[in-house]
Amino acid sequence: MNIKEELKNKRPNLSNGSLITYNSILSSLYKNVFGNDDKLDIDKFSNTDKILEHLKSLPPNRRKTILSALVVFSDKQPCRDLMLEYIKKLQSTNT
């Protein structure tokens, strides 16, 4: 199963545009964290420690975007908590 199919299964009401966007974000994340494997292994998205370590090198707005896609895809609590934290930080800097 690929990322787009998995997203459709988890969130059947997502628009096609959102599916394309999340697929692109998650595919790029996968390549940056796990390398450019010929066959994408969706189970590797369970390795939140490795993913979150990678995200530390990115600007907060980019982290939030990636975490949003991860929350839709995996609904992992550490990702959700960090996403909400970054949303609050970004909101406080914009006010």
Q: What is the pLDDT of residue 75?
A: 81
Read off the tokens for 95: 């006010």
What band does 26 get if pLDDT is binned at 50, 70 and 90? very high
Across residues 45-51, what is the average pLDDT? 88
- Cβ-based burial of 7 (10 A; exposed 0-12, middle 13-18, buried ≥19): buried
Report helix, strand or coil for 89. Answer: helix
Please tell me the distance from the alpha carbon of residue 6 to that of residue 88, in angstroms, as a whole number. 29
pLDDT tens across 55-89, in order? 989 988 888 889 889 888 888 888 888 888 878 87
pLDDT mean across residues, the chain: 87
Closest residue by Cα to residue 71 from 29, 38, 22, 31: 22
Domain ranges of the chain: 3-94
pTM score, two decimals? 0.84
What per-residue confidence (pLDDT) applies to 25?
95
